[in-house]
Chain A
């Protein structure tokens, strides 16, 4: 048993240098060729660290929304789900990921794959929005 310090820390600074020198046609200024600041991927992907969670999905019901089996989703619970949001929902005791369609009192969970049927959320359903999906991380190169 090897103890390790694990933590998803949205605050960890993962820094990649950003070269801000613009490419000019003509005379590039050597003075512009310096590293001005670092890019932090967390800053780009995580707006509300305390409310952001990562989940992985398996299945093909959302391929039309760019969510493929094995992808990592960045889910922000601080955001309010609106009509058209891709959400992580709890439906009858299970997680699912679908596009939310709400008009008036009618709520539907819409798959993004014609092979699947929309799910009508009725009064008898145990339904809760768990969070709003804000980014999909799709790894292209599988080792």
Chain B
């Protein structure tokens, strides 16, 4: 049986999360600001239609936003992480083979059974009904094609949110029209380079000499080209999700029972995720850890996740590891056979956009000096003190989030209040 991939992508995820619990936002443009309420990190479809640009400093578009009655929010990572987990859990009800790619995207590996359009629509319908989050679903013989299909499904209203390229006679034409900058794995720099030599669409890109592609765009460029032609050769790990979240997770070679082994695994993933984060010059605001048992086995099942919001966005490996391990210890329940663990870093901001922590040197790339400081402070005042100490010092260095919506799903004081 032929293997196919489905990419499930949440539409305007942060704005959609805000809308689930605030119905008055349904028809209004919504924008979400980065840490310290500086830049726009997410927009609803209406805000995009107004021409509010991504990543622009809010003060620059404030007048226009206010004129159009735009709802403006600080990033509510606790809410987004919780809804993300719910979406992923719904996806796991379709297949255990779910690769969480970012906070709002996941790849499903499936066996092709006829026309999969109905399957895609069923996924979309169930995720919306269960979680309130609208998604687009793209299906293809490779992950790159699944991504392309999801892109088309999202932007072409005729698709109704789901497109199965494997059963469309016009698949080649549909793919051909996609701009190179929208192809998964082709970053803005390569897109500019390709445009410079007259390559604008996927059709142009496929026609290029593979040897040239490999020479000028590395092996990854060649893999992307191969995948667009329908042959699968890219794993999600190979292409870092540049957007809002980084996931590092893997199934274990064998089941794991003890906490020490899980700690080793999670700290390794944390290290890897922090590396990826620094590579894209980002700082993460939220750390999420998840663990699960083997769904294929007839053994007692357990799966859960927990999140921690860092007082200051960070890319410091020791900070992230420490936080991940603290989360893991709270998650861990004795007696289960675990086969997968992972970490997600979300609320990613560019290094220049984030406020620096008073206690951290400007260059805090996880140097041994930072490690020493962290250990020293925590030895002296107890584990975890560094977070408290940094957050407790006066507000000028604290994160400014004046427009934060309630933590509707994670705090008793914040659950929605309905007047009846």
User: Could you tell me which A residues sit within 8 Å of B by CB distance?
Assistant: 1-3, 5-9, 11-13, 48-51, 53-62, 67, 72, 77-78, 88, 90, 93-98, 126, 130
| A residues near B130, Cβ cutoff 8 Å | 48, 50-51, 77-78
**Interchain residue pairs with CB less than 8 A apart (30):** A1-B392, A1-B398, A3-B309, A5-B306, A6-B410, A6-B411, A7-B306, A7-B307, A7-B410, A8-B82, A8-B410, A9-B306, A50-B89, A50-B90, A51-B86, A51-B131, A53-B409, A53-B416, A59-B419, A59-B420, A60-B420, A67-B420, A72-B415, A77-B130, A90-B23, A93-B23, A93-B24, A93-B27, A94-B24, A95-B23
Taking a contact as CB atoms under 8 Å apart, the answer to whether A2 and B304 are in contact is no
Q: Which of B303, B304, B330 contacts A5 (CB 8 A)?
A: B330
| A residues near B49, Cβ cutoff 8 Å | none
Taking a contact as CB atoms under 8 Å apart, the answer to whether A5 and B409 are in contact is no
Interface string of B340-354 (1 = CB under 8 A from A): 000000000000000
Taking a contact as CB atoms under 8 Å apart, the answer to whether A57 and B415 are in contact is no
The residue of chain B having its C-beta at the shortest distance from the C-beta of A71 within the complex is B420
B179 at the interface (CB under 8 A from A): no
Interface string of B6-28 (1 = CB under 8 A from A): 00000000000000000110110
**Given A50-B130, A93-B27: A2 touches B388 (CB 8 Å cut-off):** yes
Taking a contact as CB atoms under 8 Å apart, the answer to whether A9 and B418 are in contact is no
Q: Which of A11, A56, A58, A67 contacts B304 (CB 8 A)?
A: A11
The residue of chain A having its C-beta at the shortest distance from the C-beta of B310 within the complex is A3
| A residues near B391, Cβ cutoff 8 Å | 1-3
The residue of chain A having its C-beta at the shortest distance from the C-beta of B302 within the complex is A11
Q: How far is the CA of A54 from the CA of B21 in the complex (A)?
A: 11
| B residues near A98, Cβ cutoff 8 Å | 420
Query: In the complex, what's the smallest C-beta–C-beta distance from A52 to chain B, in angstroms?
Result: 9
Taking a contact as CB atoms under 8 Å apart, the answer to whether B27 and A7 are in contact is no
B234 at the interface (CB under 8 A from A): no
Q: In terms of DSSP, what is the predominant structure of the interface of chain B?
A: mixed
Q: How far is the CA of A98 from the CA of B418 in the complex (A)?
A: 11
| A residues near B129, Cβ cutoff 8 Å | 51, 77-78
B239 at the interface (CB under 8 A from A): no
Q: Which of B49-90 contact A (CB under 8 A)?
A: 78, 82, 85-87, 89-90
Q: How far is the CA of A54 from the CA of B82 in the complex (A)?
A: 13
Taking a contact as CB atoms under 8 Å apart, the answer to whether A5 and B307 are in contact is yes
| A residues near B302, Cβ cutoff 8 Å | 11
B220 at the interface (CB under 8 A from A): no
Q: How far is the CA of A130 from the CA of B308 in the complex (A)?
A: 28
Q: How far is the CA of A8 from the CA of B26 in the complex (A)?
A: 25
Taking a contact as CB atoms under 8 Å apart, the answer to whether A3 and B418 are in contact is no
B211 at the interface (CB under 8 A from A): no
Q: Which of B23, B86, B327, B420 contacts A97 (CB 8 A)?
A: B420
| A residues near B308, Cβ cutoff 8 Å | 3, 5
B407 at the interface (CB under 8 A from A): yes
Interface string of B398-409 (1 = CB under 8 A from A): 100000000111
Q: Which of B297-320 contact A (CB under 8 A)?
A: 302-304, 306-311
Query: In the complex, what's the smallest C-beta–C-beta distance from A48 to chain B, in angstroms?
Result: 7
| A residues near B200, Cβ cutoff 8 Å | none
Taking a contact as CB atoms under 8 Å apart, the answer to whether A6 and B78 are in contact is yes
Taking a contact as CB atoms under 8 Å apart, the answer to whether B387 and A3 are in contact is yes
The residue of chain A having its C-beta at the shortest distance from the C-beta of B330 within the complex is A5
Q: How far is the CA of A54 from the CA of B89 in the complex (A)?
A: 18
Query: In the complex, what's the smallest C-beta–C-beta distance from B54 to chain A, in angstroms?
Result: 27
Q: How far is the CA of A2 from the CA of B27 in the complex (A)?
A: 36
Query: In the complex, what's the smallest C-beta–C-beta distance from B375 to chain A, in angstroms?
Result: 19
Query: In the complex, what's the smallest C-beta–C-beta distance from B291 to chain A, in angstroms?
Result: 11
| B residues near A5, Cβ cutoff 8 Å | 306-308, 327, 330
| A residues near B78, Cβ cutoff 8 Å | 6-7
Q: How far is the CA of A82 from the CA of B391 in the complex (A)?
A: 49
Q: Which of B106-132 contact A (CB under 8 A)?
A: 129-132
A6-B410, A51-B130, A58-B418 are known; give 18 further A-B pairs, CB within 8 A: A1-B311, A2-B392, A3-B311, A7-B82, A11-B303, A48-B130, A51-B86, A51-B129, A56-B415, A57-B418, A57-B420, A58-B419, A78-B130, A93-B24, A94-B23, A95-B416, A130-B23, A130-B132
Q: Which of B130-160 contact A (CB under 8 A)?
A: 130-132
Q: How far is the CA of A3 from the CA of B333 in the complex (A)?
A: 23
**Given A1-B391, A5-B330: A50 touches B304 (CB 8 Å cut-off):** no
Taking a contact as CB atoms under 8 Å apart, the answer to whether B416 and A56 are in contact is yes
Q: How far is the CA of A59 from the CA of B398 in the complex (A)?
A: 38
| A residues near B197, Cβ cutoff 8 Å | none
